[in-house]
Chains A and B, each alone.
Chain A
Amino acid sequence: WRDVVMPRPKDTTTTEAPKPWVRTIYDSAKEIVTPTVIAGITFSAEPDKESDPLKPWVSLKKDGSPVTIKPEIKNGRTKNAYPSYSTYFQNVYTTSLTYEDLGKPQNMDPDDIFEKEIFVDDDDTYTSLNPVMRCTPLSYFQKGPAKNILSEPFCSPREKTNLKVDDTYFITWYTKFFTHPVTEQIAEKVRLHFTYVKEDARDKNLHKR
C-alpha cells in the first residue's frame, strides 16, 4: 500500500498568464505587445532581461505539431542549439572598392575595382518574438509519388500527413519565396486557401479509423 497523494488545489490567481508589455521599436516608437498562447507556445512573450544561451526553443514535428527543444552543453559543445539560418534572412549588397579604399593591396591593379558582398540581417523586430523555428529552404522536403518535387515554400506539415480534429498544427513557409515578379519586393501579406481535393485511388481506404 502507499499513501494517497492528494492533488494540489488549482491556483486560480496564477501570475503565469502572459501579460501585455511595452517595448521600444525603431528608435523612439513604442508599442504594446500582447503575448498569445497557441498550442502551449507563447508568442510575443517579453524577452528575459538576461539572455540565456540555453533558452528552450520550439521545433516542429513532421505533422507540424510543436515540440520544445532544450539545448544542453555536452563536452564543451552546445547540443540541440537554436538553428542558424545561414544567409536566408539576410540581404546582400554589393559595394565597389577602389585600389586606394582597400589600402593598396600588392596583388591588385590600381585601375581595378574590387566588388565586395555585404550581408545585412533582415529586420527582426517582429520575427524575434516568435519562438518557433523558422522555415528556410534547408527545411524543404521532397514530395510527390516519386519524392522528386520540392515542397517549396512549405516546411511543415509534410505531405499526406494526418491532421486530427481539435489538434493544433503549424503550417510554415519560407517568407522570401513570395517575391513580386516585376518589382522583386517580398510580399507583405499572404493568405491561405484550404481546398478539398480528390484523394488518390492508391491512398484511398488506407487510413486507420
Chain B
Amino acid sequence: PEKATFFITEWLNNVDGIFPLEVQEAWLQGQAYRAILVTIQPDYINDDEFLPSTADNGLEFIIKLGSKVFKTTKEQLALQDAGIYNDSIYYIILAIPMCVVVTFVGMYFFLYLTKGNRDFSDIKSSVLKSRHRVIGRIKDIKKFRGIKNHKYEELPQFKKVSKQN
C-alpha cells in the first residue's frame, strides 16, 4: 500500500508470535545500511486501511552489510592482468628509510675524512681546568679572617646513675 514498503510476509499464524527474518542484500539497494520499519497487520484490518507509516505498532531497526575481509577485488585483478600495478605507494614506503640510511652513511664518511681537521682543544678538560678560579683557604679570605673556629667538643651525654653504681 505504501511506496516505501519493500516486503510483506504471507499471512502468518498469530498464535506463533514469531517470524524468522533473514536479511537480504537486495533490500539494501546498493547502500551499506538502511533504516527499516516493521509493522504488523492483523487480519481484522483491511489492506486498504492499513498504512505502515501510521500504524500504532512499529519497530525501527537497521539492516546492514556484514563485516567483510578485504581481498583483492575483481577490478584490481583485471588491472593486474593488464599489467597495471598500482604500486607507487611501495616506492614511497621504501624511499623514506633509504634516505635516512644514506644520510647516516654519508655523515659517517664525512666525519671520518675530516677527523684531522677538527680542533676541539678549547673545550678539552685541561683547558677548562686551567680556567678554574682558585679562591684559596677560607681563613685567608678577608671576610672570614676574624672568625674563630672552635674545635670539636663532645656533646653532653646522659650518665645513668643507679644504686648499683
Contacts and interface: CB of A to CB of B under 8 A. Distances in A.
B41 A171 contact: no
A161 B66 CA distance: 13
Contact of A170 (B19, B34, B40): B19
A193 B65 contact: no
Nearest to B1: A193
A161 B65 CA distance: 13
A162 B61 contact: yes
A130 B25 contact: no
Interface residues of A, number: 55
A153 B33 contact: no
Contact of A160 (B14, B21, B40, B60): B60
Contacts, number: 189
A207 B52 CA distance: 25
A207 B21 contact: no
A157 B17 contact: no
Nearest to B39: A193
Interface of B: 2, 4-25, 27-28, 32-44, 50, 52-53, 55, 57, 59-67
24 contacts: A38-B20, A39-B20, A126-B15, A152-B57, A157-B61, A165-B28, A165-B63, A167-B66, A168-B22, A170-B19, A170-B20, A172-B17, A177-B57, A178-B14, A181-B44, A188-B13, A189-B12, A192-B39, A194-B27, A195-B6, A195-B39, A196-B6, A197-B37, A207-B33
